[in-house]
Structure formats: structure tokens, C-alpha cells
């Protein structure tokens, strides 16, 4: 069991959480997650909250392989107003900002976000870790080999789990030294990893328990699922549920998902199984 201090709210993680994905982008890999109009964002958020989402993850910069980089101001313009409206309509909601930019993180937390979710673990903005420390919010530190525009160009590891684990341990030391108290780790499925790498990570996910921090998993509708099943992201819900179940059994504490209802049901069944 873990606790997180989210801008003065002490939250207890006594069961796995579900994080719902809301992308304020026109080019994220899963088309149905793209929401750019405020009314549409509010409607999706309300549905996710009603279905049991513990966190709403708002992102304004697509990080799919080969995605186009936008300016910091454009990313702020896409996310900060959305977060302000969400906090007005759903004041009890827990919102994370999905960004690798310290400037965006600062603007989002000012708007109401209470967690920073950084795919780069601070590697794409030298000021990110010190900024998060100054904001006094939890930090989701993800492992990524390369950058979104290069990460899937022949990624290589001698041992993917050992490498990711070692690099996350080093990152956590850096974060704690900088003054970040609440850290969540994410091995970064699909970020500089090919399909065999992703399955190897999933199979050995329990190894990350040595870090003793909440473990987030982002597998929802990713290419590891739909390419393995010879289908598309639109038809990858069942595959996502299967891998989410495996992730929970191997120690995942947070599922980052497109489909909140299905993920929440997966958590409920897992808890019934674990407590039997």
C-alpha cells in the first residue's frame, strides 16, 4: 500500500488504480482518445469518472512513434484550459499532465493538475525534475530509449528488464536528491522497445517491486497487442484486458487506459481473486 500527497490531498493506494487517457491532440495513435473541444473533453471526463477512473491523464503532445513536436505554448494552450474547465466541473477529480516539458508541467499544475506524467524521465527537458520538485506534486517517471521520433528505430537491449530497472533506479535517486518525495515508476511499454521487449518486461514485471514505488503500466491498445493479434487499435480492447490482467498479477499498481469501464472491471475481478 502506498500514499501520495497530491497538492495537500493525501491519497491511499490500497488497491490498483485506473488512469483514463484524454488526449487534446489531433494525432494520437488511437483516434477515439483524441478530444479537442472543451465540451467533448468534459463529456469524456464525466463518463470516465462515472466508470470509476481514479486519475484523468491530460496530454497535448502526441508521443506515438514519429510524432510531430509542437511548441510549448501550443501544448499549454491545448491542456491548461482543459484542466481549468475539468477542475471547475469536477473539483474532486485527480488530474495528471502528460508532458515532457517543464513549462507545460508548471502551467498545468497552476491550472489544477496534481501529478506530472513524464514519458522521458526528465531526459527531454533538463529543468523537469527540479521543476516538479518545486511544485511538490507526485512524478511519474517513465523509461524511454531515445525520443518519440527515434525510439522505434531498431531498439536494442542485452537484457531489457535489467536495463530498464537499472535506469529507473538511477532516475529515482536523481528525483529524490532533487526533492521529489512521491515517485511513480513506469517501464515504458512501447517506448524504445519492440514487441519481444514488451512481452519480456511484462513477464518479469515483478522485478520492479525492488524499487518499492507504485508501478504504472501503459499497454492499452498498443501495437504490441494489435500487431500480435493481426488487427488494429480499434479492435484491441480484449487484448488490452488480457495484458492488463497479467500486469496486475505481476505487480502493477496503476493501469493507464483508454477504456476505463473494462479496466475497472479487470481490477475488481483481480481484487476478488486476490482476496479469496
SS3 for the chain is CEEEEECCEEEEECCCEEEEEEECCCCCCCHHHECCCHHHHHHHHHHHHHHCCCEEEEECCCCCCCCCCCCHHHHHHHHHHHHHHHHHHCCCCCEEEECCCHHHHHHHHHHCCCEEEECCCCCCCCCHHHHHHHHCCCEEEECCCCCCCCCCCCCCCCCHHHHHHHHHHHHHHHHHHHCCCCEEEECCCCCCCCHHHHHHHHHCHHHHHHHCCCEEECCCCCHHHHHHCCCCHHHCHHHHHHHHHHHHHCCCCEEEECCHHHHHHHHHHHHHHHCC
Cα–Cα distance for residue pair 43/47, rounded to 1 Å: 6
pTM of this prediction exceeds 0.75? yes
Supply the mean pLDDT for the chain: 93
Tell me the average pLDDT across 121-130: 96
Distances (CA, A) of 199 to 154, 185, 207, 224, 270: 16, 18, 14, 8, 20
Report the alpha-carbon distance of residue 186 to residue 188 in Å, rounded: 5
Percentage of the chain lying above the pLDDT 90 cut: 84
Q: pLDDT at position 62, please?
A: 79
- What's the average model confidence in pLDDT over 202-215? 98
pLDDT at residue 43 in the model: 93
Residues labelled as active-site residues:
222, 256
Are the C-beta atoms of 59 and 79 separated by less than 8 Å?
Answer: yes
Grid cell listed for 194? 519492440
What value does the mean pLDDT take over residues 198-210?
98
Q: Which residues contact 113 (CB under 8 A, 6 or more apart)?
A: 58, 83, 95, 96, 97, 105, 137
The set of residues, in sequence order, having a beta carbon less than 8 Å from that of 207 and lying 6+ positions away, is: 161, 165
**What's the burial of 75, exposed, middle or buried (CB within 10 Å: 0-12/13-18/19+)?**
buried
* Residue carrying C-alpha cell 507526485: 138
| Model confidence pLDDT, tens digit, residues 21-67 | 999 877 555 455 555 688 889 999 999 999 999 999 999 987 776 66
Q: Which three cell numbers stand for residue 146?
A: 531515445
Q: What is the pLDDT of residue 156?
A: 86
- 187 has pLDDT over 70: yes
CA atoms within 13 A on the CB side of 44: 24
Q: How far is CA 151 from CA 54, 63, 125, 155, in A?
A: 30, 10, 17, 7
Mean pLDDT for 137-154 is: 82
pLDDT of residue 61: 86
Please give the pLDDT value at position 12: 97
Domains of the chain are 2-274 (3.20.20.20)
**Whether pLDDT at 203 is above 80:** yes
Q: 22 near 59, Cβ under 8 Å?
A: yes
The stretch 265-270 carries a mean pLDDT of: 98
Contact 202, 189 (CB under 8 A): yes
The pLDDT score that the predictor gives to residue 149 is: 62
Amino acid at each position: 500500500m502506498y500514499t501520495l500527497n497530491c497538492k495537500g490531498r493525501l491519497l491511499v493506494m490500497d488497491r490498483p488504480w485506473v488512469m483514463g487517457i484524454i488526449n487534446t491532440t489531433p494525432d494520437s495513435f488511437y483516434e477515439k482518445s483524441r478530444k479537442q473541444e472543451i465540451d467533448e473533453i468534459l463529456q469524456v471526463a464525466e463518463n470516465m469518472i462515472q466508470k470509476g477512473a481514479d486519475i484523468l491523464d491530460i496530454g497535448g503532445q502526441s508521443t506515438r512513434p514519429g510524432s510531430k513536436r509542437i511548441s510549448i505554448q501550443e501544448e499549454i494552450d491545448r491542456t491548461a484550459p482543459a484542466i481549468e474547465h475539468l477542475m471547475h466541473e469536477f473539483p474532486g477529480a485527480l488530474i495528471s499532465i502528460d508532458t515532457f516539458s517543464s513549462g507545460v508541467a508548471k502551467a498545468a499544475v497552476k491550472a489544477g493538475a496534481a501529478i506530472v506524467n513524464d514519458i522521458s524521465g526528465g531526459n527531454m527537458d533538463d529543468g523537469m525534475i527540479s521543476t516538479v520538485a518545486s511544485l511538490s506534486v507526485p512524478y511519474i517517471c517513465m523509461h524511454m530509449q531515445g525520443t518519440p521520433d527515434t525510439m522505434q528505430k531498431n531498439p536494442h537491449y542485452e537484457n531489457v528488464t535489467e536495463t530498464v530497472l537499472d535506469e529507473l533506479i538511477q532516475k529515482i535517486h536523481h528525483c529524490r536528491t532533487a526533492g521529489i518525495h512521491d515517485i511513480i515508476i513506469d517501464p515504458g511499454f512501447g517506448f524504445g522497445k519492440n514487441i519481444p521487449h514488451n512481452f519480456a518486461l511484462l513477464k518479469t514485471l515483478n522485478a520492479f517491486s525492488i524499487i518499492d514505488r507504485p508501478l504504472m503500466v501503459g499497454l492499452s491498445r498498443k501495437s504490441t497487442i494489435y500487431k500480435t493479434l493481426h488487427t488494429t487499435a480499434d479492435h484491441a480492447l480484449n487484448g488490452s484486458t488480457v495484458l492488463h490482467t497479467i500486469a496486475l498479477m505481476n505487480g502493477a499498481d496503476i493501469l493507464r487506459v483508454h477504456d476505463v469501464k473494462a479496466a475497472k472491471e479487470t481490477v475488481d475481478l483481480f481484487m476478488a481473486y486476490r482476496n479469496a
